[in-house]
Amino acid sequence: MLQVIGIPDTDALFDEIPPHLRVAGLDGIPETMSEMEVSQLMHRRAAENKQAVCFIGAGAYEHHIPAAVWQLATRGEYYTAYTPYQAEASQGTLQLTYEYQSMMTALTDMDVSNASLYDGASALAEAMLMAVRANRKSKSRRILMPRTVHPAYRKTADTIVSGQNIELVEVEYDRNTGTVQLDAIQQAAGQDATAVVIQQPSFFGTLEDVDAITDWAHRNNMLVIAITNPLTITVLKPPGQWGSQGADIACGDGQPLGAPLSSGGPYFGFLCSTQALVRQMPGRIVGRTIDVDGNEGFVLTLQAREQHIRRSKATSNICTNQGLVVTASTIHMAIMGPQGLENSAAACHANTRELVAQLSTIPGVSQAFSSPMFHEAVLTLDRPADEVLSALAEYNILGGYDLGAEYPELGHAILVCATELRTEEEITAYRSALQTVLEQEQETRQKEIA
Amino acid sequence: MSEIPSELRYTKSHEWVRNEDDGTVTVGITDHAQELLGDLVYVELPEVGTEMAAEDAVCVVESVKAASDVYMPVSGEVVVVNSDLADAPETINDSPYDDGWLIKIKLSNPDEINDLMDADSYEAEIEED
Amino acid sequence: MLIHEHSRPGREGAPQAPAVKADVSDIPQQLLRQGRAALPEVSELQAVRHYTRLSQKNFAIDTHFYPLGSCTMKYNPRACNTLAMLPGFLARHPLTPDRYSQGFLACMYELQSMLCEAMGMAAFSLAPMAGAQGEFAGIKMISAYHQANNDDARREVLVPDAAHGTNPATATMCGFAVKEIPTLANGDVDLDALKAAAGPQTAGLMLTNPSTLGVFERQIEKIATIVHDAGGLLYYDGANLNAILGKIRPGDMGFDVIHTNLHKTFSTPHGGGGPGSGAVGVGERLKPFLPLPIVAEDGGSFRCLNEQDAPQSIGHLSAFMGNAGVLLRAYIYMRMLGKSGMERVAEFATLNANYMMAEAKRRGFQLAIPDRRASHEFIITLKKEASELHVTAMDFAKRLLDLGYHAPTTYFPLLVPECLLIEPTESEAKEALDGFMDALEQIREEAKNNPELVTGAPHTLPVKRLDEVNAARKLDLAFKIEEAAPR
């Protein structure tokens, strides 16, 4: 090969690089490890993560995933394929993605879905950019953002949209119900707002008055951006059915549909909209078409809006979707089926309800909000949440998410969730452990006082 | 060789202009432009009543390969848009100078027409490309 | 057939969920879904068969030589997948406190450190979930830096005209105006144009090196000086890192901020279009602005920095830890490569590309930039074949599929007409490269003697050439089955 190229050695390949800039060697990188050695290392590292029963939700949920899902998704033909730019050689990925889009529109009851975005938080940012671009009836760049929307989503969305002169207007929630009230939204809107964001169930697990808010927004020339956990809408009313016209854009994280917790990712963001907004949709979209013989086939479409063609006028800079995770999720939805998903969601609700009922019997533990909840709930404690959670961890229980940093006004509060995986024994064990923990702390305090 | 009707005026950004002699002009994209873009799939037209200056982006024409801005050849108000293009964007490919017209503008400054190229100048311009 | 078309009402697989739906009557009626989502109802075997057969319609690295320029389609070691999916990582909730996550955080910390070393940068954040998000983080940091210095006039970002489309799109997303700098025929950026364009309004320049034309930007030091003297910062698009890994480092070239594409250079799976990872690295100047989370070491244990630790951070780009599973795969790959392995990557990637380029020239194909060394990729232009034989780069690409090769990148960079951007990567044996060149020659012969074979390609795949115009005109983006009756 060197002969064909006409060079004496491989070093000559780099003769165009200024020699004084060349690095002598990557001395800070540890030496090569065999697969066996790396395997041993990773097993050790995996064991260093605490094994515990998980009662944390807060945007990532532990669900049962059928064994076939990831066995199929990690087939080399899916795992090592690229973006389907040569459509004829990628009909597997393209058809699967079309099926994914179809399933998401059915779930959300919206008209169109794209092929996914990175995660729920960045999908919210894209939904907001879309709303500002698309709202022909309002030139405003203010978007109403209730505090009952996931705090990490609000932070991320702000990071992504703030460079484009878009203002997130915070709307306070009602301390009794844990939901946002229409009059608070109305006040925050003032003279101009282009969109309102509603998360259902809210970050707290409470249920917002989606119909009233949606109809009010439409009467006032605003678009409605819905954030939802896609598993919950098998039981709860989907965004396409909110109010009399339905939400305009629906987004959220698809993780509950077949993506393992996996230390935080990869998940995927889904984005759906009404037909009217389809040309403002960022990211990839797959369309069904025919080939020259009239046979059905699938292609990436509406690419002219994307970065590789529009460049500085693109709707967004997004280049990838979450291909492999979408693959798994589509297979997951097909195997679970609509009744399976619905029963799973209902079981999460029932288990959380049971968990809350049991824990509330313990002195010092109470439900924070009076309104109906679904799938998650906020409990207030009479001790600092971080101490309680640390003590529970000694029993190998991850008791919930400490809300102190983002919602200090709630006092000592935790967000708890019991998915369909949590057994009766695990829930009883949690109650028993918490009771012991709080009694022990009570005793310790009494001794200190005495 | 693309068609360049001699009675029309042209811009460097491949718009053609027909003077209707009543203070309005009709605007579209040239045969050369539609050839470059390929089969058109969508046209985004402005709202009637929109006022813009010359060289502002007023429409978007979209093919599979590209989404291109169409620029105001003159300053003025958009008084009519060709809404038939919504269902049949390919009309622009088939008939760029007749049925494929995009918008009609009411000129705010009638003299601006004189700044536009004539057919010969436009032909020379695209030959250089 | 779609999975939906296999659906029959009432059909289901082995129980994957509780058999009976739990009571949800405590939820107000008007908030409940009426009727069921119209999702397909199939047996498990039907689903498995359907998705297995669909997979067999794909070309993939595991099945085909995939010289897709600018995408770095190297072998994805399976150990990376198996080990990243060990239960200790897979079942861990992202909000598990740091002190219970030391194994995971150790891997993340070491990944950050290795990237710093390999790239010559002072600090890294693993937060961005794709190259485009990494770019966004990079430009946002540049913006934050200038704002922190009260330098409000810098509203313009310079981008070479040959740049990938994400570059100008990103600059716009961050509120900047974009100014394009021309590239010369020899592949270098036009220095005079750059000098003229750089000034007090310049926030920075976005560049990749080697460039999208497949050649090394020889005047990188001069470019860095021009931009820095004007008060701007230098951003590196890491798409082409595979060409220089272990040979030269972006930090040493003068770049202030870089994004890496872990799914290219560090072999995380392409997965049919994602998930990627765009880990972003900075020099000292931009360290305070890095996006969160960042893993830090504190007396032998690891923790994630938060807003209090990093008050000037541009913030979060995702709800949790970005694409954590992808990061683990990159970490495992880097441990397997190690120092010696990493230093060989660019060598073999560049050797393979230069060999193919020499072969292309020998076999009579026209190189876009004939008198330069190729980096890890090179460009052929089929302009001559297009005008003489009336076959396009697209036709060549489609016929390559018939011959068992995934086509190279076509029509990018936009500057070169009828181009094929070819990147073999270091994973391929010489026979694969020779076979590909033979295939190109065969197609050229067919174009002369039997053009329909080429212009009508592909002939042997599950579908023939697809009508993209129809797809964009008559949008069919979802299949709707009738709303299922409530149970």
Instruction: Determine whether the interchain pair A13/C24 forms a contact, defined as Cβ–Cβ distance below 8 Å.
Output: no
- State the residue range of the domain holding A362: 53-59+337-449
Structural domain contains residue A21: no
CB contact burial A179-216 (16+ within 10 A = b; e otherwise): bbbeebbeebbeeebbbbbbbbbbbbbbbbbbeebbbb
Instruction: Determine whether the interchain pair B42/C472 forms a contact, defined as Cβ–Cβ distance below 8 Å.
Output: yes
Structural domain contains residue B120: no
Which uninterrupted H or E stretch holds C143?
helix C131-148
Smallest CA–CA separation between A179 and chain C, in Å? Answer: 14
Structural domain contains residue C64: no
Instruction: Determine whether the interchain pair C478/A111 forms a contact, defined as Cβ–Cβ distance below 8 Å.
Output: yes
Closest of C105, C103, C124 to residue C114, by C-alpha: C124
State the pLDDT at residue A309: 52
Structural domain contains residue B10: no
Residues 270-309 of A with CB under 8 A from B: 279, 303-305, 309
A155 touches chain B (CB under 8 A): no
Measure the CA–CA gap between C282 and C122, rounded to whole angstroms. Answer: 6
B67 touches chain A (CB under 8 A): yes
Measure the CA–CA gap between C201 and C157, rounded to whole angstroms. Answer: 9
B71 touches chain A (CB under 8 A): no
Closest of C459, C384, C371 to residue C184, by C-alpha: C371
State the pLDDT at residue A305: 66
Residues 420-479 of C with CB under 8 A from A: 430, 456, 458, 461-468, 470-472, 474-479
A151 and A86 belong to one structural domain: yes
Which uninterrupted H or E stretch holds C234?
strand C233-238
Identify the band that residue C288 occupies on the pLDDT scale cut at 50, 70 and 90. very high
What Cα–Cα distance (Å) separates residue B128 from each residue in A23, B12, B36, B121?
46, 12, 15, 11
Question: Which residues of chain A are under the pLDDT cut of 50?
Answer: none
DSSP E strand boundaries for C33-162: 123-125, 156-160
Of C281 and A448, which is predicted with more confidence? Answer: C281
Smallest CA–CA separation between B65 and chain C, in Å? Answer: 9
DSSP for C396-408, please give it: HHHHHHHTT----
Residues 337-356 of C with CB under 8 A from A: 337-343, 346-347, 350-351, 354-355
CB contacts of A112 in chain C (<8 Å) are 477-478
Instruction: Determine whether the interchain pair B42/C469 forms a contact, defined as Cβ–Cβ distance below 8 Å.
Output: no
Say how many domains are in chain C. Answer: 2
Structural domain contains residue C72: no
A105 and A212 belong to one structural domain: yes
CB contacts of C186 in chain A (<8 Å) are none
Among A316, A332, A348, give the residue marking a domain's end: A332
What are chain C's partners, defined as 3 or more CB pairs within 8 angstroms? A, B
A264 and A350 belong to one structural domain: no
DSSP E strand boundaries for A368-436: 377-381, 397-398, 401-402, 413-416
DSSP for B47-89, please give it: PTT-EE-TT-EEEEEEESS-EEEEE-SS-EEEEEE-GGGGT-T
What Cα–Cα distance (Å) separates residue A401 from each residue in A59, A204, C78, C287?
11, 11, 35, 30
Report, in angstroms and rounded to the nearest whole number, the Rg of chain C calculated over CA atoms: 25
Smallest CA–CA separation between C232 and chain A, in Å? Answer: 18
Written as one letter, the residue type at A115 is A
- Read off the DSSP letter of residue A113: E
Write down the H helix ranges in C230-283.
Answer: 250-253
Among C337, C358, C386, give the residue marking a domain's end: C337
C472 touches chain B (CB under 8 A): yes
A312 and A404 belong to one structural domain: no
| Dihedral sign from CA coordinates of C403, C408, C412, C415 | negative
State the pLDDT at residue C162: 80
- Read off the DSSP letter of residue C291: P
Residue A244 CB neighbour total at 10 angstroms: 9
What are chain A's partners, defined as 3 or more CB pairs within 8 angstroms? B, C
In which residue are the tokens 């998705």 written? C51
C138 touches chain A (CB under 8 A): no
Instruction: Determine whether the interchain pair C473/B62 forms a contact, defined as Cβ–Cβ distance below 8 Å.
Output: no
A394 and A309 belong to one structural domain: no
In which residue are the tokens 């309005």 written? B24
State the pLDDT at residue C441: 96
Say how many domains are in chain B. Answer: 1
C178 and C230 belong to one structural domain: yes
C114 and C87 belong to one structural domain: yes
CATH of the domain at B89: 2.40.50.100
C415 touches chain A (CB under 8 A): no
Report, in angstroms and rounded to the nearest whole number, the Rg of chain B calculated over CA atoms: 13
CB contacts of C165 in chain A (<8 Å) are 306-311, 314
Measure the CA–CA gap between A303 and C411, rounded to whole angstroms. Answer: 14
C326 and C386 belong to one structural domain: no
pLDDT tens digits for range C112-135: 999 999 999 999 999 999 998 999
Closest of A150, A129, A121, A155 to residue C315, by C-alpha: A155
Structural domain contains residue C69: no
pLDDT tens digits for range C67-123: 999 899 999 999 999 999 999 999 999 999 999 999 999 999 999 999 999 999 999
pLDDT tens digits for range B38-69: 899 999 999 899 999 998 989 989 888 778 88
Structural domain contains residue A36: no
Structural domain contains residue A344: yes
C294 and C427 belong to one structural domain: no
Instruction: Determine whether the interchain pair A23/C90 forms a contact, defined as Cβ–Cβ distance below 8 Å.
Output: no
Among A306, A332, A358, give the residue marking a domain's end: A332
What Cα–Cα distance (Å) separates residue C400 from each residue in A94, C129, C440, C445?
20, 32, 7, 13
pLDDT tens digits for range C431-471: 999 999 999 999 999 999 999 999 999 999 999 999 999 99
Structural domain contains residue B119: no
CB contacts of A136 in chain B (<8 Å) are 47
> Between A and B, how many residue pairs show a Cβ–Cβ distance under 8 A?
19
A273 and A353 belong to one structural domain: no
State the pLDDT at residue B104: 95
Measure the CA–CA gap between A441 and A424, rounded to whole angstroms. Answer: 26
Among C337, C372, C404, give the residue marking a domain's end: C337
Structural domain contains residue A225: yes
Report, in angstroms and rounded to the nearest whole number, the Rg of chain A calculated over CA atoms: 25
Structural domain contains residue C45: no
Structural domain contains residue B12: no
Instruction: Determine whether the interchain pair B66/A305 forms a contact, defined as Cβ–Cβ distance below 8 Å.
Output: no
A303 and A351 belong to one structural domain: no
C263 and C364 belong to one structural domain: no
Q: Kindly state the percentage of chain C with pLDDT values over 90.
A: 83
Closest of A387, A400, A403 to residue A430, by C-alpha: A400
Strands A112-113 and A269-273: antiparallel
State the pLDDT at residue C242: 95
Say if residues A386 and A404 touch (Cβ distance below 8 Å). Answer: yes
Say how many domains are in chain A. Answer: 2
Hey, what are A167's tokens?
């203002």
In which residue are the tokens 């030091």 written? C221
Residues 174-213 of C with CB under 8 A from A: 174-175, 178
CATH of the domain at C230: 3.40.640.10
Structural domain contains residue B97: yes
Smallest CA–CA separation between A146 and chain C, in Å? Answer: 17
Exposed / middle / buried, residue A269 (Cβ in 10 Å: 0-12, 13-18, 19+) = buried
C236 and C315 belong to one structural domain: yes
Torsion of CA C347, C349, C352, C356, to 10 degrees: -130
Instruction: Determine whether the interchain pair A261/C31 forms a contact, defined as Cβ–Cβ distance below 8 Å.
Output: no
CATH of the domain at A413: 3.90.1150.10
Measure the CA–CA gap between A442 and A448, rounded to whole angstroms. Answer: 10
CATH of the domain at A203: 3.40.640.10
Instruction: Determine whether the interchain pair B42/A279 forms a contact, defined as Cβ–Cβ distance below 8 Å.
Output: yes
Structural domain contains residue A132: yes
Top residue of C23, C92, C394 to mutate, by most chain A CBs within 10 Å, is C92
Q: Kindly state the percentage of chain C with pLDDT values over 70.
A: 99
B62 touches chain A (CB under 8 A): yes
Structural domain contains residue A319: yes
Residues 24-83 of B with CB under 8 A from C: 38-39, 41-42, 62-64
C466 and C407 belong to one structural domain: yes
Structural domain contains residue C485: no
Residues 15-44 of B with CB under 8 A from A: 41-42, 44
Structural domain contains residue C245: yes
Top residue of C30, C44, C48, C55 to mutate, by most chain A CBs within 10 Å, is C55
Measure the CA–CA gap between C371 and A374, rounded to whole angstroms. Answer: 67
Structural domain contains residue B16: no
C437 and C325 belong to one structural domain: no
State the pLDDT at residue A306: 58
CATH of the domain at C400: 3.90.1150.10
CA closest to B62 among chain A residues:
A304
A311 and A215 belong to one structural domain: yes
Written as one letter, the residue type at A274 is T
First to last CA, chain A: 87
Structural domain contains residue A34: no
Exposed / middle / buried, residue C371 (Cβ in 10 Å: 0-12, 13-18, 19+) = exposed
C476 touches chain B (CB under 8 A): no
Could you tell me how far CA C323 lies from the centroid of its own chain? Answer: 14
- State the residue range of the domain holding B64: 23-109
| Dihedral sign from CA coordinates of A249, A121, A131, A207 | positive
Identify the band that residue B103 occupies on the pLDDT scale cut at 50, 70 and 90. very high
C466 touches chain B (CB under 8 A): no
Smallest CA–CA separation between A314 and chain B, in Å? Answer: 10
C356 and C332 belong to one structural domain: no
Torsion of CA A144, A147, A150, A155, to 10 degrees: 70
Identify the band that residue B3 occupies on the pLDDT scale cut at 50, 70 and 90. confident
Among A296, A316, A332, give the residue marking a domain's end: A332
Strands A142-146 and A167-171: parallel
What Cα–Cα distance (Å) separates residue C57 from each residue in A17, A93, A290, C268?
42, 8, 16, 22
Of A46, A78, A268, the CB nearest to C89: A46
DSSP E strand boundaries for A233-376: 249-253, 269-273, 285-290, 296-301, 365-367
Smallest CA–CA separation between C242 and chain A, in Å? Answer: 13
Structural domain contains residue B124: no
C411 touches chain A (CB under 8 A): no
Structural domain contains residue B123: no
CB contact burial B21-30 (16+ within 10 A = b; e otherwise): eeebbbbbbb
Hey, what are A429's tokens?
């064990």
Measure the CA–CA gap between A376 and A56, rounded to whole angstroms. Answer: 9
State the pLDDT at residue A312: 52
Measure the CA–CA gap between A296 and A266, rounded to whole angstroms. Answer: 32
Least confident of B93-107, C48-62, C354-368, C402-416: C402-416
What Cα–Cα distance (Å) separates residue A50 from each residue in A391, A430, C304, C438?
14, 17, 17, 55
CA closest to B64 among chain A residues:
A304
C115 and C227 belong to one structural domain: yes
C411: left (phi over 0), alpha (psi -120 to 50) or beta: left
C202 and C129 belong to one structural domain: yes
Q: Quick check: helix, strand or coil at residue C137?
A: helix
Length of chain C: 487
In which residue are the tokens 């396009």 written? C392
A289 and A379 belong to one structural domain: no
CB contacts of B42 in chain C (<8 Å) are 472-473
- State the residue range of the domain holding C464: 345-471
C132 and C268 belong to one structural domain: yes
Structural domain contains residue A15: no
